[in-house]
Amino acid sequence: VEATPRLSKLQEKSIVITAGPTREKIDDVRFISNYSSGKMGFALATSAAKRGAKVTLVTGPVHLPTPEGVDRLDIESTEEMDLAVKEHYQSCDIFIGAAAVADYRPANYVTGKLKKNSKTMEINLVRNPDILAGFSKQKKKHQIAIGFSLETAGNLDNAKEKLEQKQLDLVAYNTFDGKTSGFEVDTNILTLIDKHMNVYELPLLGKHEAAERMLDIVEELINSDK
């Protein structure tokens, strides 16, 4: 006799997930970006879809297949990601910011190709909109905002600050060491802090397992509120 599967709290929930890097164009052939692989965001999208959620994955340029049952939107720049997310402000129950968003973009975009006609050069950068904070600022009572906090090791307090400043329901503190945690690798060491200041220290896990554990905690958070 098979056990009746437990109904997930995420069943039928609309979840928007950002993933991957964003790219900010300097000219037609160059851009500013980062090493994000998109693996963590895609793992979250996969797990959420398996739990019966309606998942929209807004992703920067990555080399990953679209998870089954997930609605994928490909964008390049932070402003494009911001616009795509804004389309879902009303309909979304849970927003997870897993993208490594470029904090700045070149103030001016050069059509064509910049020539190397001087010994040094300067590129003026301007701040990008904060997509996660933007969602959080306008969110209704039933909506949940979740962010990541990528920090050098030992800076858990920075993650707590982001939780408070961006008024998040949950933050995933994530260090990078280039081997077991952070960008481009298949594993992650996450510490999750919820808005009640409950702290969950996850061990070194594959990103898919880390995503499952993270969504278990999201489900607990939904339980504790309702």
Q: Residue 26 belongs to what H/E stretch? A: strand 24-27
Residue 220 engages Ca ion in binding (rule: CB under 5 A): no
Size of the site for Ca ion (CB under 5 A): 1
Residue 97 engages ligand CTP in binding (rule: CB under 6 A): yes
Residue 15 engages ligand CTP in binding (rule: CB under 6 A): no
Cβ atoms of residues 24 and 100 within 8 Å: no
What CA–CA distance (Å, rounded) separates 76 from 179? 27
In the set 31, 42, 95, 148, which binds ligand CTP (CB under 6 A)? 148
Residue 162 engages ligand CTP in binding (rule: CB under 6 A): yes
In this structure, what token pair is assigned to residue 110? Answer: 């050069």
| Contacts of residue 9, Cβ cutoff 8 Å, sequence gap at least 6 | 218, 219, 222, 223
Q: What DSSP state is assigned to residue 128?
A: P
CB of 79 or CB of 103, closer to Ca ion: 103
CB of 38 or CB of 226, closer to ligand CTP: 38
Residue 132 engages ligand CTP in binding (rule: CB under 6 A): yes
Q: Is 74 annotated as a binding residue?
A: no
Residue 188 annotated as catalytic: no
What CA–CA distance (Å, rounded) separates 67 from 90? 24
Which residue type, as a one-letter code, is found at position 113? Answer: K
Residue 93 engages Ca ion in binding (rule: CB under 5 A): no
Residue 80 engages Ca ion in binding (rule: CB under 5 A): no
Q: Is 5 annotated as a binding residue?
A: no
CB of 94 or CB of 132, closer to ligand CTP: 132
In this structure, what token pair is assigned to residue 54? Answer: 């309606």
* Interface of this chain with ligand CTP, residues 60 to 89, rule: CB under 6 A: 78
User: Per-residue x/- marks for Ca ion, 95-114, CB under 5 A?
Assistant: --------x-----------
How many other β-carbons are positioned within 10 Å of the β-carbon of residue 158?
15
| Contacts of residue 208, Cβ cutoff 8 Å, sequence gap at least 6 | 43, 46, 47
Indicate the SS3 state at residue 193: strand
Residues near Ca ion (CB under 5 A): 103
Residues near ligand CTP (CB under 6 A): 18, 78, 97, 99, 101, 103, 128, 130-132, 147-150, 162
Q: Which residues are catalytic?
A: 34
